[in-house]
Structure 1
């Protein structure tokens, strides 16, 4: 299954792949060169397909758990000052996604969307310390009946050129459902209340909808 945000890109990639395979077969006489170019075209095509994959991960919503919104490596667990919405200290958990990870964003909790804002910005590498405040990004706050207000931030990376965010203020969302997509490399930051019991460790590989980030 592929994510709907990849439909146009996959269609274009398919056409280019077919053209490349046919052109190489018709125009190049050297067998080794023809096969090499066709293999390169196949490799690039597979990379695009795997980037937009959207594996089915159905979960039973649980207000006592915060689940991973994306696939990737946990790169930050620390107490920080959150300046945009809370304007006080929060516990930050950040997940870095490489280009080979699934890039679907899923709601980490169920609740009411209190805040949703897009910020244009730079395209620093996603692990850069200033990426969370200077890169293209979205900030979403969900009010959950157990944890209170939870903020998550989609952050574009050096290759990402478009963030898709489905969260709309005033709507009720369900944990684990599709919240958006970040194209070609990125990071997601979670900002949780101080004292939240964190259930992951640094450098742990998180799986969206499966890994429990925090427990009440």
Structure 2
């Protein structure tokens, strides 16, 4: 397991904060043993939490030309027919994956193809499970067209804790299935919009892994 590049700055800032905090406690309250140990334990726990959040575990990623692979780790919170109003402007099958702070937050391409559309939207930071987060939160929208002509839209959505969405794609890029396309810091969500009639292989509340779990099958 390695640490993702998006975590380098946050980890460095966390270490600096922990060093300053512990130095202050040792200087001012060295004679209060219980307080000193409480700060030590808090500092250790904080460092482990930040470190695990930016982990990049080694995996054998799945690639299959006729399948859609989950773009993120997390839990399936939505499988429903809905109106997609930004790009398709018609009814689509929506699948949403919620990423808690303990999940790996790397986002991966669900299919291979050409990026036909990309847009970043600044916005609010509603809880990621709030239905309005799909249209009101900070988010990106990516549309990749498969070689068979099927377009798949996927959307990074910031949550109540997330304050930065990172993406590595732009219109015209040729992308490969299960490769990284972005990262969202702390709690967040990814929505995927598929053509109606697409066979979805997931169930609500199912725990999935990005780049591994098969989400759907393309016709």
Whether TM exceeds 0.5 here: the answer is: yes
Q: CA deviation at 1:100?
A: 1.1
Q: Is the 8 A contact 1:64 1:146 kept in 2?
A: no
- Map residues 107-122 of structure 1 onto 2, 5 A cutoff: 107-122=109-124
Aligned to 1:154: 156
Q: CA deviation at 1:26?
A: 4.0
Aligned to 2:169: 167
The secondary structure found in structure 2 opposite 1:141 is strand
Aligned to 2:125: 123
Aligned to 1:178: 180
Aligned to 1:103: 105
CA deviation map 1:47-74 (0-9, x unaligned): 1111111112242521111111111110
Q: Number of aligned pairs?
A: 216
Is 1:8 the counterpart of 2:9? The answer is: yes
Aligned to 1:189: 191
Q: CA deviation at 1:19?
A: 3.0
TM-score (norm 1): 0.95
The secondary structure found in structure 2 opposite 1:112 is strand
Aligned to 2:25: 24
Q: What residue ranges of structure 2 are gaps of 5+ in the alignment?
A: none
CA deviation map 1:68-108 (0-9, x unaligned): 11111100000111000001111000001111111111111
Aligned to 1:138: 140
**Structure 1 residues 135, 173: closer, same or farther in 2, change over 3 A?**
same
Q: What residue ranges of structure 1 are gaps of 5+ in the alignment?
A: none
**Structure 1 residues 115, 39: closer, same or farther in 2, change over 3 A?**
same
Q: CA deviation at 1:46?
A: 1.1
TM-score (norm 2): 0.94
